[in-house]
Chains A and B, each alone.
Chain A
Amino acid sequence: MLAGRNGSGKTTLLRIAGQIVRPTAGKLSFPGSSADSIGNTRPGYVGHSTMVYDELTAEENLLLFARLQKVESPGARAEDLLREVGLYERRASLVRTFSRGMRQRIAIARALIHRPPVLLLDEPATGLDPLGIAWLANSLRDLNRDGCTIVMSLHGESEISSLATRAVRLDAGNVIADTKAGASLHDILTFGAA
């Protein structure tokens, strides 16, 4: 889990890890991969924007990204994910008609469509109501149990932050605290809070 004030570099780090932007210095590597990327499989990425098309329906969006990533049985996979994120009933609705929370759910479904081994989430609880946050926490727990590595940025402590097995605090692009170095999760998440 990544923590830090606004502008500390959490989003930049996640976008570099997601291979959306190239690092200006340094090298990106992942455990178990000798190359600069995660082999042939791309990470799933959920950013501040939904990264889906407003003029397509929920189902069309998932089918689009499933087909681009050569997912086997894209229709079935899209249907499964729509059920999982609770949008199956609204699968034929245009995304522009969705609420903020529903848009966040479809954004998460898009990131999961190709069953990524690594999932990068930038403040994924944004726009979710308490029920949505509980759903997200459960989903992330299940994904992690199935072998998916999850890296996410969060503000403060929440149901989701309790899932963290490691937390790192960033400031101006530098690591200033790490649970691996003995800091506590609570200290990292609440650092600098009044």
Chain B
Amino acid sequence: MSLLSNTAVLLNKELRTEFRSRELLTTTVVFILVVLILFSFAISPTTEESREFGPGLLWLAILFAASLMLQPCFLREQSNDTLSSLRLAVSDPFSIFLAKLIANTLFLLLTELIMLPFFTIFYNVPVFPEFHWLILVLFLGSLGISVAGTALSAISAQARMRELLLPLLLLPLLTPVLVVSATVTASLFEREPIVKGRGIAFLAVFDIVFLTALWLFGEYLLEE
């Protein structure tokens, strides 16, 4: 109960501070739209090419946005040493991670929802036929990115060369999630959409494994 109530309090803090400053959301939404528009004008894909390359570009844009979003996740706790005050205040440090990764997932999903109409317009790919499956894939993929990214953000925030370290650690670790997410998304964009159950199951297992690892070892990542 303490874990859930502390997570709720911390999540409220994360959302309140973000919606007050709008630092992350503004940056990532603008960035992700610029990436999509640039790719669209640079490649000028036909509908068939969009079905083929679109999902890869979509997930590449999500990855770029996530790495922008995850970088300050723990970094901004350092300016006033607020991470120490949180660690002193909570009985279970996992609640700090849980609140941050839920907030990151929500921000990422919000960015993706803003991005989807633009993606449909610029790439002429219909996203609505299997919209509920697409939302599930976006959710599982974003959760995977957020879980791994939040953990790595905690590690990189305490290191030198922190700006370089997070993308360096994040990209190899997220390759399986990105490949599977892009593959499953591509199958949903086909003329006759197919739901790749094994891909969705892989994303769910990835999320559960990393979430469990974070629950077991997260405390050590927060130590100075």
Listed in ascending order, the chain A residues whose CB lies under 8 Å from chain B are 15, 18-22, 42-43, 45, 47-56, 60, 64-65, 67-70, 110, 114
Instruction: Tell me if B188 counts as interface (CB < 8 A to partner A).
Output: no
CA gap between A21 and B10 in the complex, in Å: 22
Q: Identify which of residues 43-94 in chain B touch chain A, using a CB-to-CB cut-off of 8 Å.
A: 79-82, 84-90
B: interface residue count bin: 20 to 34
In the complex, which residue of chain B has the Cβ closest to the Cβ of A54?
B80
Question: Which of B13-21, B135-143, B146-154, B174-182 lies at the interface with chain A?
Answer: B13-21
Question: Contacts of B87 on A, CB cut-off 8 Å?
Answer: 20
Of A47, A53, A56, A68, the contact of B84 (CB 8 Å cutoff): A47
**Secondary structure type dominating chain B contacts:** helix
For the complex formed, measure the closest distance between the CB of B199 and the CB atoms of chain A, giving whole angstroms: 39
A65 adjacent to B89 (CB under 8 Å): yes
A55 contacts B21, C-beta separation under 8 Å: yes
Compute how far the CA of A19 lies from the CA of B85 in the bound complex, rounded to whole angstroms: 11
Count A-B pairs with CB separation below 8 Å. 64
**Known contacts A19-B88, A51-B82, A54-B80; A67/B9 CB under 8 A:** yes
- Interchain nearest-CB distance for B109 vs A (Å): 22
Instruction: List residues 1-51 of chain B with CB under 8 A from any CB of chain A.
Output: 2, 5-6, 9-10, 13, 16-17, 20-21
Kindly list chain A residues whose C-beta atoms are within 8 Å of the C-beta of B21. 55
Bound-state Cα–Cα, A70 to B86, Å: 13
User: Would A51 and B223 be within 8 Å (CB), given that A60-B16, A64-B9, A68-B6 are in contact?
Assistant: no
Q: What does DSSP make chain A's interface, helix, strand, loop or mixed?
A: loop
B224 within 8 Å of A (CB atoms): yes
* Smallest Cβ-Cβ distance to B9: which chain A residue: A67
A53 interface neighbour in B13, B89, B223, B224, Cβ under 8 Å:
B13
Q: Which residues of B contact A70 (CB under 8 A)?
A: 2
User: Does B17 lie within 8 Å of A49, measured CB to CB?
Assistant: no
Scan residues 84-120 of chain B and give those whose CB is less than 8 A from a CB of chain A. Answer: 84-90
Chain A residues in 8 Å Cβ range of B84: 15, 20, 45, 47, 49, 51
Neighbouring B residues of A21 by C-beta, 8 Å: 223-224
